[in-house]
Amino acid sequence: MAGLIISPRARIFHGHDWVYATEIKKTFGNPQPGDVISLKDFKDRALGSAIYNPQSQIVARRFSFRKQDLNLDFFERRFTQALKARQETDINPRLMRLVWSESDALPGIVIDRYGDVLVLQATTLAMHQRLDIIVEAAQNVYQPQGILLRNDSAMLKSEGIEPELKILSGDVPESFIVAQNYSVGNINYEVQLFSGQKTGLYIDQLQAHDEVAQYAKGRRVLDIFSNQGGFALAAAKAGATTVTAVDISESAVESISTNAKANELEITAIKSNAFDYLRTLEELSEEESHDLIVLDPPSFTRNKKTVKEALRGYKEIHLRAIKHLKAGGIMSTFCCSHHITQELFLENIVSASVDAKKTIKLIKTHTQRLDHPVLPALPETLYLKGYTFEILASK
Contact 35, 3 (CB under 8 A): no
For ligand SAH, the binding residue among 231, 314, 345, 383 (CB under 6 A) is 231
| Cβ closest to ligand SAH, residue 85 vs residue 248 | 248
Long-range contacts of 133-140 (CB under 8 A, 24+ apart): 133/70, 133/71, 133/72, 133/75, 134/75, 134/109, 135/168, 135/169, 136/72, 136/75, 137/72, 137/75, 137/76, 137/79, 138/75, 138/79, 138/111, 139/169, 140/76
Whether the CB-CB separation of 277 and 222 falls below 8 Å is answered with no
| Shortest Å, Cβ 205 to ligand SAH | 4
Q: Which of 103, 192, 205, 207 binds ligand SAH (CB under 6 A)?
A: 205
Nearest distance from residue 39's CB to ligand SAH, in Å?
A: 36
Question: Which residues 249-308 are close enough to bind ligand SAH by CB under 6 A?
Answer: 249, 252, 273-275, 296-298
DSSP state of 338: T
The b-or-e profile of 300-337 (16+ CB within 10 A means b, else e) is bbeeeeeeeebbebbbebbbbbbbbbeeebbbbbbbbb
Please identify, using beta-carbon distances, which residue of 88 and 250 lies nearer to ligand SAH.
250
Q: Among this protein's residues, is 336 annotated catalytic?
A: yes
Min dist CB 193 to ligand SAH, Å, is 16
How far is 310 from 317, CA to CA, in rounded Å? Answer: 11
What pairing do the DSSP bridges indicate for beta strands 146-151 and 117-122? Answer: parallel
Torsion of CA 306, 227, 99, 181, to 10 degrees: 140
Distance in Å, CB of 245 to ligand SAH, minimum: 9
Q: Using CA atoms, how far apart are residues 127 and 67, in angstroms rounded to an integer? A: 17
In the complex with ligand SAH, the residue whose CB is nearer, 103 or 205, is: 205
What's CA 351's distance to the chain center, in Å? 26
For residues 17 and 296, which CB has a smaller minimum distance to ligand SAH in the complex?
296
Residues 6+ away with beta carbon under 8 Å from 372:
97, 100, 103, 203, 204, 381, 384
Instruction: Enumerate residues 6+ apart whose C-beta is below 8 A from 251.
Output: 192, 195
Interface positions, 125-144, toward ligand SAH (CB under 6 A) = none
Please report, as residue ranges, which positions from 68 to 127 form the binding site for ligand SAH (by CB under 6 A): none
Nearer to ligand SAH among residue 124 and residue 333 (C-beta):
333
270 or 392, CB closer to ligand SAH?
A: 270
Which lies closer to ligand SAH via its Cβ, residue 149 or residue 384?
A: 384
| Residues 170-199, mask of contacts with ligand SAH (x by CB under 6 A) | ---------------------------x--
Rounded CA-CA distance 379/48 in Å is 20
What's the min distance (Å) between Cβ of 273 and ligand SAH?
4
Q: Kindly state whether residue 227 participates in binding ligand SAH, applying the rule CB under 6 A.
A: yes
**Shortest Å, Cβ 262 to ligand SAH:** 16
- Distance between alpha carbon 231 and the CA centroid of its chain, in Å? 15
| Range in contact with ligand SAH (rule: CB under 6 A) among 31-39, 66-74, 78-86, 225-233 | 225-233
Other C-beta atoms within 10 Å of 206: how many? 24
Residue from 133, 167, 179, 248 that binds ligand SAH (CB under 6 A)? 248
Report how far Cα 217 is from the mean position of its chain's Cα atoms: 27
- Minimum CB–partner distance for residue 299 and ligand SAH (Å): 9
**Please, what is the minimum distance in Å from the beta carbon of residue 187 to ligand SAH?**
11
User: Which of 216, 336, 360, 391 is the catalytic position?
Assistant: 336
**Closest C-alpha among 268, 282, 365 to residue 322:** 282
- Compute the distance between CA of residue 65 and CA of residue 325 in angstroms, rounded to an integer: 52
Binding piece for ligand SAH, criterion CB under 6 A, among 15-23, 41-49, 146-154, 228-236: 228-236
Q: Residue count at the site for ligand SAH (CB under 6 A)? A: 19
Choose between 252 and 335: whose C-beta lies nearer to ligand SAH: 252
User: Active-site residues: which are they?
Assistant: 336
Under the rule (CB under 6 A), what is the footprint of ligand SAH? 197, 202, 205, 225-228, 230-231, 247-249, 252, 273-275, 296-298
